[in-house]
Amino acid sequence: MSDFPFSNVGTMVRDDSLRPFLSSGSSDTFGSGADAFARATTGYGVENPSGTSTGKRKAASMSESSTDGSICKCDKPARMLRVAKAGRNRGRTFYCCYTYPKNCDHFAWADSVALASKDVGPFIFPGSNKGTSGPATNVTMCQCSVPAKMFTTKKEGDNFGRNFFVCNYSPKACDFFKWATPPLTNEKKEEAKHNIVDFGLPDDITKDTMINFLTVTDDKARIIQCYKQRSFNWLKARKFRLTTSNFGAAAGHNDYMTPKALVAQMLWGNFKGNAATRWGTYYESVALAEYVNNKTREIALNRETVDALREGKLVQALDFSVQERGLVVNPEYCWMGCSPDGVVYTRDCSQGRVCYLIEIKCPKSETFYSKQKKYQKSKHKNIPAGIPYHYYDQIMGCMANLGLPFADFIVWTPAGMEVTRYNFDKEYWTETLLPLLKKWYFDLFLPALALKQAGKLKPGQTEECLDIDLDVDFALVR
């Protein structure tokens, strides 16, 4: 992890030196993300070749007088305009009759005449089992010559679970579309459906049978990721997996839940939330929006970028997006699962294309964890101070399962927001946390699950207990 120019633990501080670059009222001018960059650098009005605005034009029928669209039916060079009307074609350029009013009905899309795509290969998400451990360098460009945005098909059908690329701007400035992953075969679909949706435990629960039961292929993992968080299928897919939110309790690092109490919860629990969890769930979207706004402003107001734009130079498109994941199951750790709050895709000035984890916590207390007295000193080896121990285990587990290099730990309260960056600690994961998790799952949880499956446990029990008839025993004693 030394390749990344960040300290292991550090609080992100807003740079007030950027404020002189902002004119009054400019914070409401552009918004955030790629859409802000488009509005800041592209006039979405219709333009003629001289750059003078000519107002909106109605699209006419397709011309057949020329093969390249640049000559209208009047045998004159066609005029290139840009769609200003809101909709899927906004921002696209087209050819029409050069004269005004029009003498002919010539019309042709400019991007269909000569596609401006620059495809250099799909961006590979670093959570697969192909050994990818860092940020990928290959990206797919849309027709706007900017990195395309990747989505996952969530609609039920033949393409369910497939990733695809579309234009990065919103609303879309071009009609670029490309599949990022191959389609699932019918055999793979049926296999995934049988093993994931129709969830049922094996008759004989052992380490080998559970590993075989929970093992996933890349295709299965893709389908599981598409399940919306807290949906029925999402809950079923994670039912017998140790999820990263419980890593701290399984390792004995949670002050509020012991390893044995976690076994009871996973066997019998029906936790539906409380006031604290409802508070956190409600304000999580608020915290994410504030974080995205701060980061996009930080990128857009980079001193080099501002100076280049003032000098009229071309700069890279504003590139910052956050993608949600359902349940991520790493084939290497099939008995685990994680549901990250978000994975950030952005571009670093020195490292190029990077992606990293964000984990959001919204405590009801207005005091940040780093300021609370009980977290000023850590009582666990290799866990830094300033963060609840089970949250640190959760972050390390997510990064290990997704193959991400660092994480931003976001703590939001009504009084403000604090962001701390943690690099992935491989030594802590392999030598401390992972052995503790294996011991809990295979030595504590699976034996209890086998007893429950065999009908030897009563509700709430984690160990088999002997039923003793006290009246008979006392009679024997007398």
d(CA 57, CA 450): 71
d(CA 196, CA 190): 10
Partners of 361 in the beta sheet?
A: 411
Q: Length of the chain, please?
A: 478
150, containing H or E segment: strand 149-152
Q: What is the pLDDT of residue 209?
A: 92
* Cβ-based neighbour number of residue 185 at 10 Å: 10
Task: Count Cα neighbours of 25 within 13 Å in the Cβ-side half-sphere.
Answer: 0
Nearest C-alpha neighbor of 127 from the set 273, 333, 297: 333
* Interstrand relation of 177-179 and 9-11 (parallel, antiparallel or unpaired): unpaired
Phi first, then psi, for residue 327 (nearest 5°) are: -110, 120
Q: What is the pLDDT of residue 229?
A: 72
* Interstrand relation of 352-361 and 406-413 (parallel, antiparallel or unpaired): parallel
d(CA 462, CA 457): 7
Q: What is the pLDDT of residue 187?
A: 57
Q: Decide: helix, strand or coil at residue 272.
A: coil
Q: What is the pLDDT of residue 38?
A: 36
Q: Cβ distance 56 to 94 under 8 Å?
A: no
Class of domain 1-30+185-478: alpha beta
Q: Cβ distance 249 to 392 under 8 Å?
A: no
Whole-model pTM: value is: 0.58
d(CA 94, CA 63): 11
Q: What is the mean pLDDT of each run of 10 residues along the chain (478 residues)?
A: 37 34 34 38 35 36 42 80 75 78 80 43 35 47 81 70 80 84 64 45 88 89 82 80 95 93 87 81 92 89 84 81 88 93 80 86 91 90 92 96 95 94 96 96 94 88 69 47
Q: What is the pLDDT of residue 64?
A: 34
469 burial class (0-12, 13-18, 19+ CB within 10 angstroms)? exposed
Q: What is the pLDDT of residue 129?
A: 36
Cβ partners under 8 Å of residue 450, min gap 6: 205, 206
d(CA 478, CA 463): 31
Query: Cα dist. 147→169, 188, 338 in Å?
Result: 10, 31, 27
Nearest C-alpha neighbor of 164 from the set 176, 174, 178: 178
The amino acid that residue 181 corresponds to is T
Q: Start-end ranges of CATH 3.90.320.10 in the chain?
A: 1-30+185-478
Q: What is the pLDDT of residue 443?
A: 95
Query: Cα dist. 429→62, 127, 133, 258, 281 in Å?
Result: 61, 16, 15, 20, 28
* Cβ-based neighbour number of residue 93 at 10 Å: 17
